[in-house]
Amino acid sequence: MQIKSLFRKKNIQTILLDAEKGYSDGEGHNNLKRTLTVRDLTAFGIAAVIGAGIFSSIGKACYDGGPAVIFLYIFTAVACGFAALCYAEFASTVPVSGSAYTYSYVAFGEIIAWIIGWDLLMEYAIGNIAVAISWSDYFTGFINNLSDNISRLYGVSFRIPMWMTMDATTAYNGFTAGTKWVQDGNHLEKLEPAASEAYNAWMNAPQVGGTRLIFDLPALLIVLLITYVVFIGIRESRRASNIMVIIKLAVIFLVIVLGAYYADPENWIPFAPNGFGGVMKGVSAVFFAYIGFDAISTTAEECKNPQRDLPRGMIYSLIICTILYVVLALVLTGMVNYTSLNVGDPLAMIFEARGLHWISGIVAVSALIATASVLLVFQMGQPRIWMSMSRDGLLPKIFSRIHPRYKTPSFATILTGLVVGIPALFLNLDVVLALTSIGTLFAFVLVCAGILVLQSRPNRPESKFKVPYINGKFIVPILFIAGVLFIFFYEPKHFPALLYMENFPMALFWMVVVLVTVLSFLKKFSLIPVLGLVSCFYLMAQESASNWMRFLIWLGIGLLVYFAYGFWNSKLRQNKVVEKL
């Protein structure tokens, strides 16, 4: 096996020709339907981004950073904006399904494409597990609150047993916290509500052979429902997405208007109570809130005019969502003190605190709609990644099979439903969130790097959208020197701390920054892709060392699968078609 064969690249013209001929199932027939417009794509982007992040994780981010968390939202939006411009050029150049996977195949070669394709499982499939769990939390709270209200009026209760609404780890942690609470001489009734629910779930769960049966049934059911909608067709998915986007934007507008009326400027003082460190603690939660705008690039073959509409859809959706996040963060921290926002349903809570129960109910319902729309977009994205990998021979042909009636990747869609739904029964939300964020950031880093590779090619392919070229030969080194001097004088302990093992992600970040700075000077790299690469890698470096280890283990497993099947069955290997650098 030659090393060069690991980096065999796909030819853009061949990709476009194959897509035009309809090689979507490996047999040359059954094209996907082209029905999406720029409005639909923008709606899909908003549907993917405005979901669990705005209805749940924004509370934790505000709790950690105070009102100053808006700067983290803005910085993350800028990082995502750089990445979005790079995605937009790739989507315009290679307007086929596959997203970052296909782009990496063109820019870097097969082994990197496989790694990013495997990594995208963390964004779409594992990310959807987190969304399903979040949807389940809102659904359980809504149903149980409704049950309590009806029970007071009519004496009828239909509460969902708590052992059917969470994972065993959460329940056990609640049991441990509750036990210690009682041992310290406190009354169990005064235990924090979330811990109390988890404690009761553990205590009341049925046992089989000494094992407690604790699982998240609503999470599984919503995944199965959304999978069915995605399976029956893109047109139906588009309609459902557009309706859900209109509803949740209307509710968010209501929350902002009413919240602004009740906001108290005194709650914004101090603006950054926990300093820079507190703001950056919310990286996983804040970045998770932005995941999704890139998912629309997987629908390229279902767009009427992908080269024009995909770039617009991504950028429009990112701008709209950033404005909403910043305004909502100010409203949340203005209505109540930031210290009370560490809850799973912050938007509902701030109105409960003001006695506006009817608004709280509307927010709860809209949260169900919002998270369901995110599920819809991500459940569409993952099968199309697998379909593209299957076309290339890296996965079996069955993954690219198109349903003769519904014109959707049938097997891949069903498998995605199972891969998301079954783990959602048992997995813990915190671990899933962290893995999703680091996996997606890695994809963004490679897409930005891919644009640098494309721009350096003498035969750069034509594209209707190109990232504006700004020569970084001197700007990047100046920014690097300024950044080092700033840290040296204001954070003198930063660089010595890089020698400790737990800080290896940040040490790796600085190695990458030095390399990119040198190459920018030597090869006159474009500034925007460089800023996108560096800012996204910086956000990756904020993740814990343990999360990095899980991420690297995941990629290692992916490489084993590649060398066991993908390398030997690759169409480029079989056809011996290698694009020369």
Burial 83-102 (b: 16+ CB within 10 A, else e): bbbbbbbbbbbbbbbbbbbb
Which of the four pLDDT bands, split at 50, 70 and 90, describes residue 304?
confident
CA distances 269 to 25, 219, 264, 273, Å, are 59, 39, 10, 8
- Is pTM beyond 0.85? Reply is no
How high is the mean pLDDT of the chain? Answer: 83
pLDDT one-digit tens code per residue, 72-124: 888 888 888 898 888 888 877 776 666 678 778 888 889 988 998 888 877 77
CA distances 509 to 472, 518, 538, 540, 552, Å, are 19, 14, 6, 8, 15
Residue with the two structure tokens 């004088």: 489
| pLDDT at res. 25 | 37
Backbone angles phi, psi at 162, to 5 degrees: -65, -25
Which neighbouring-strand residues pair with 409? 402
Burial class (CB in 10 A: 0-12, 13-18, 19+), 20: exposed
Contacts of 415 (CB under 8 A, 6+ apart): 383, 386, 399
pLDDT one-digit tens code per residue, 459-506: 766 777 788 899 999 999 999 999 999 999 888 888 898 888 889 999
pLDDT one-digit tens code per residue, 313-354: 888 888 888 898 899 889 889 988 888 887 767 877 788 777
| pLDDT at res. 97 | 60
Greater model confidence, 32 or 210: 210
Confidence check: pLDDT of 22 > 60: no
Tokens of 440: 């997606």
Greater model confidence, 147 or 290: 147
CB 67 within 8 Å of CB 337: no
CA 24, CA 32: separation in Å to the nearest integer? 8
> If we measure between CA atoms, which residue out of 189, 197, 151, 149 comes closest to residue 357?
149
> If we measure between CA atoms, which residue out of 52, 49, 578, 4 comes closest to residue 322?
49
Of the spans 37-41, 139-143, 460-464, 485-489, which averages the highest pLDDT? 485-489
pLDDT one-digit tens code per residue, 158-204: 889 999 999 999 899 989 989 999 898 888 888 877 788 889 999 99
Residues found in the chain? 581
Instruction: Write 38-42 long-range contacts (CB < 8 A, 24+).
Output: 38/308, 38/309, 38/312, 38/313, 38/316, 40/238, 40/241, 40/242, 40/313, 41/296, 41/299, 41/303, 41/309, 41/310, 41/312, 41/313, 41/314, 41/317, 42/312, 42/313, 42/316, 42/317, 42/320
Q: Please state the rounded mean pLDDT for residues 407-423.
A: 91
